């Protein structure tokens, strides 16, 4: 009797083992927002208006030129 119970429990346990498997379906890559679309105005640069592509371009040009110390020294 005991071996029969043991075999029954073992079979049931092996059948339930698959229940712990995670689903392995591939997830596609998410689409990104445009760079000028900001949801958090708390940290935006002073004078920059988020949500406008032209404003972002102008801001980008200004910040990049700020790395040119010749603008200050010459």
Partner 1 sequence: MARMKFICDAERCIECNGCVTACKAEHDVPWGVNRRRVVTLNDGIPGEKSISVACMHCSDAPCMAVCPVDCFYHTDEGVVLHDKDVCIGCGYCSYACPFGAPQFPTNGTFGLRGKMDKCTFCAGGPEANGSEAEYEKYGRNRLAEGKLPACAEMCSTKALLGGDGDVVADIFRTRVLNRGKGSEVWGWGTAYGKPTQGAPAQPVPKEPTKS
Residues that bind partner 1 (CB under 8 A): 26-40, 43-45, 48, 50, 55-57, 59-61, 63-70
Work out whether the CA dihedral 40, 44, 50, 54 comes out positive or negative. negative
CB of 3 to partner 1, least distance (A): 37
CB of 73 to partner 1, least distance (A): 10
d(CA 74, CA 26): 56
Alpha carbon distance 17, 27 (integer Å): 25
**Closest CB 28 distance from partner 1, rounded Å:** 7
Shorter beta-carbon distance to partner 1: residue 2 or 70: 70
User: In this complex, which beta carbon is closest to partner 1, that of residue 13 or of residue 42?
Assistant: 42
């Amino acid at each position: 009797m005991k071996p029969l119970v043991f075999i029954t429990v073992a079979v049931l346990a092996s059948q339930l083992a698959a229940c712990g498997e995670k689903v392995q379906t591939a997830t596609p890559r998410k689409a990104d927002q445009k760079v000028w679309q900001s949801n958090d105005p708390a940290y935006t640069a002073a004078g920059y208006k988020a949500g406008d592509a032209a404003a972002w371009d102008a801001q980008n040009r200004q910040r990049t030129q700020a790395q040119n110390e010749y603008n200050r020294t010459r």
